[in-house]
Amino acid sequence: MPLPVFSLLRACGSCHTRRPARHGALAAVLAVVLSACASAPPRDMDTIVPLSAETRAALPAAMMTQRYVLMGEVHDNPFGHAWRTQALTRAIEAGWRPAIAMEQFDTRFQPLLDLAMATCTDAPCVIAAAVPGKSAWEWTYYEPVIDLALKYKLPLRAANLSRADAAKVVRGGLSAVFTGAQLRDMGLAVPPHAELMAAQEQAVADGHCGMLPPTLHAPMATAQIARDAVMADVMRAAAGPVVLLAGNGHVRKDIGVPQWLGAPSLSIGFIEGRATTGAYDQAEGMMPIARPDPCEAVKSLATPAPGNPPLDPGASTPPHTNEIVRTTDDPPSPAATPLDLNRANRAIH
C-alpha cells in the first residue's frame, strides 16, 4: 500500500493493519510502518471537490491524446474504482488502445500474466492464474478492467515492485535489489534531488502518524521512490500508449511516477477530499468510506506489549520475515473492505 511504498496520500484511507509476528525487532518495525497509513480521511463534505460534469465528460478524449496516462485510486473506495473504470471504458470504446499497467501485479509475475491473458476468457481466470498464493487485493474492484483488456485484446502489464523487494530496499538500499545497469535505466544511478527526497520523507512521516522512527524515514522513502521508478520503467517499455492504474501517491506528478517518466503525462487523482495543489493534472473528489482511524492501529502496533523490548530499527531481520512486511500502498484486507460497486455505479450516473 504506500509512498511511494509506504504511504503518502497514498490512499491512506485504504490502509489495513495487522499485528506482526515478532520474528525480529526491525521486522516488527517494518511491519508496523509498512502497513499503517497516515491520518483518517476527511469527513467534511466541504472538502470534497468533484470534477465538473463537463470536465468529467471530456476526460476520455483527453486521455486519448496522451502517450502516458496515470489514474489513481484509494484502494478500498468503490466510488473511485467506479469513476475510473467508467472513464477508461469510454476511452477504449471510443477507439483508444492502451496497454494497461497495474500496481496490483508484481513485475516478476509478468510471464504468468501473459500466459493467463492468452488462455483465459474472463478476469477471475486471469487473476487465479497470474497471482500465485494469497493476495490482499480486493480483486472484484479490478475485474472490470481486466475484462476490458480481454475484450479488446489490450496488453496487461505487471507494474509493481514486490513487497519483499521493497523491504530489501529499506534494509539494504537500492543495490540490494537492482544492478548498476538497472539503476541507470530507471534514473536511479544518482540520488533523487533534495526536494523530492524531502517530500517523500515527509510523506512517510505524515503517513505514519508521526510515530515512525526517524531512522526509517529515508530508507522507506527510497523504497517508495524505487516503486515509482519501476512503474515508470514498465510504462516506458510499452510500444504505444499506456495507462497506469495505481494508488494516488504513485500517480502524483510532483513526487510520484511522472517524475521518473522523462516525458509528458496526464495524471488523474481519485481522492477523498481535496487534492494537494500541484499533485495531479485533474482530481476527482469523492465521498470517503467508513473505516477505523488508521492512527489508532499504528499506536497499538508501535506500543510494545508488556514484557517485550522497545522496537529497535537497527536490529537485524531474519530473511524469512519478508512476508510480514507491508507498505502503506498495500491493499487492505478484503475482510476490512466494504464492497458496494453497485452503489458506486449508481452514484456516477
CATH number of the structural domain spanning residue 97: 3.40.50.11550
Residue 26 pLDDT grade (very low, low, confident, very high; cuts 50, 70, 90): very low
Max CA-CA distance within the chain? 63
Sign of the alpha-carbon dihedral angle for 203, 208, 209, 213:
negative
* Predicted local distance difference test score (pLDDT) of residue 299: 72
Q: How many domains does the chain have?
A: 1
In a domain, 114, yes or no: yes
In a domain, 37, yes or no: no
Tens-digit pLDDT profile for residues 42-78: 444 445 677 778 888 999 999 999 999 999 999 999 9
Closest C-alpha to 226, from 273, 276, 171? 171
In a domain, 227, yes or no: yes
In a domain, 12, yes or no: no
In a domain, 185, yes or no: yes
Q: Which domain holds residue 116?
A: 42-162+172-291
In a domain, 331, yes or no: no
Region 278-284: mean pLDDT is: 92
Share of the chain above pLDDT 90, in %: 58
In a domain, 313, yes or no: no
Does the reported pTM lie above 0.95? no
Q: Which three cell numbers stand for residue 92?
A: 477504449
In a domain, 101, yes or no: yes
The owner of cell 487465479 is: 128
- Average confidence score pLDDT of the chain: 79
* Predicted local distance difference test score (pLDDT) of residue 48: 64
Q: How far apart are CA 35 and CA 15, in angstroms?
A: 7
